[in-house]
A and B are shown apart, each in its own frame.
Chain A
Amino acid sequence: MRALVVEDSSTIRKILCHYLKKMDIEVVEAADGQEGLERLKGMSPPDLVLVDWNMPVMSGIDFIRAVREMHIYDPLPLIMVTTNSESEYLGQAVDAGANQYIQKPCTLDALREKIEQLGLRDKKIPESAGKL
């Protein structure tokens, strides 16, 4: 499995990549929505995208809208990773085309659960050897 992680904070990006690697998921990284689109177009479609909301250059919401306009990516699962917890914001994410959202700060177990809810794997994701 392979995931694209779009997040402007290098620390949080590193943490999310650490989580994904513990689930044996390969990772490609991007620091904003624009770079995320470029990465996406330059690779064979990933199995999953994690995208932050507030980013410079192009926000997570605009990234999701841009991806959903390209119908080749219709089946691509998108998870919004956000500090926004209000239902109004979460509704916006879903309306834009996010399949799932997870609130920051998230644990490895919480992220694993969200990924499993998307039904991406026919087997359980390995338990972590350790946690942050």
Chain B
Amino acid sequence: MSEMSDIVIEFVHEGNDKANQLEHHLIDLEKDPRSQELLAEAFRALHTIKGATSFLGFSKLGALAHTGESLLARLRNGALLMNQEIASALLSLVDAIRAILSEIAATGNEGSADYAVLTSTLTQLQKSA
């Protein structure tokens, strides 16, 4: 196995691990929407995924993670408060991350699925103070 495919396998493994962590933190945040600790952990999980995409050229996943990170940053700095709509959009982001990682694991690329609606929703929610 080449070093490159070894790195991509590690990325898929770590990405799924971080997606699971993000999902758990989002579910906990629905019960405790002001928890700075949970918001920081959720942000860190998404930031880790985004950071690795930038090295590997997975720009679709990187852009999605960046949009979610921007929304989480608004929650973390208190400009927004977690609600059902935001949680639902962020959980959809988790699903999208898993789908892209699955595509990468199977084919080595991010696939052709379009996430424009999800990106638009996450972007709009950043403005919904």
Give the B-binding residues of A (Cβ under 8 A): 8-12, 14-15, 18, 54, 56, 83, 104-105, 132
Residues of B near A12 (CB, < 8 A) are: 51-52, 55
Q: Does any Cβ of A come within 8 Å of B34's Cβ?
A: no
B1-29 CB contacts (< 8 Å) to partner A: 3-4, 6-7, 10-11, 13-15
B3 lies within 8 A of A54 (CB)? no
Residues of A near B14 (CB, < 8 A) are: 9-11
Nearest chain A residue, comparing its CB with the CB of B12: A11
Asked whether A105 and B55 contact (CB < 8 A) given A11-B14, A132-B7, the answer is yes
Residues of B near A105 (CB, < 8 A) are: 51, 54-55
Q: Kindly state the separation between the CA atoms of A10 and B14 in the bound complex, as whole angstroms.
A: 7
Q: Does any Cβ of A come within 8 Å of B83's Cβ?
A: no
Residues of A near B55 (CB, < 8 A) are: 11-12, 15, 104-105, 132
Partner of B7, one of A8, A15, A54, A56: A15
Nearest chain B residue, comparing its CB with the CB of A132: B4
Nearest chain B residue, comparing its CB with the CB of A13: B10
Tell me what chain B mostly uses at the interface: helix, strand, loop, or mixed.
helix
Residues of B near A54 (CB, < 8 A) are: 44, 47
Nearest-neighbour CB distance to chain B for A29, whole angstroms, equals 12
A104 lies within 8 A of B54 (CB)? yes
Q: Kindly state the separation between the CA atoms of A108 and B37 in the bound complex, as whole angstroms.
A: 35
Give the A-binding residues of B (Cβ under 8 A): 3-4, 6-7, 10-11, 13-15, 44, 47-48, 51-52, 54-56
Q: Kindly state the separation between the CA atoms of A19 and B52 in the bound complex, as whole angstroms.
A: 15
B52 lies within 8 A of A132 (CB)? no
Residues of B near A8 (CB, < 8 A) are: 48
A9 lies within 8 A of B7 (CB)? no
Nearest chain A residue, comparing its CB with the CB of B50: A83
Nearest-neighbour CB distance to chain B for A41, whole angstroms, equals 26
9 more CB-based (< 8 A) A-B contacts, given A14-B10, A18-B7, A104-B55: A9-B52, A11-B10, A15-B7, A15-B52, A15-B56, A54-B47, A83-B51, A104-B54, A132-B7
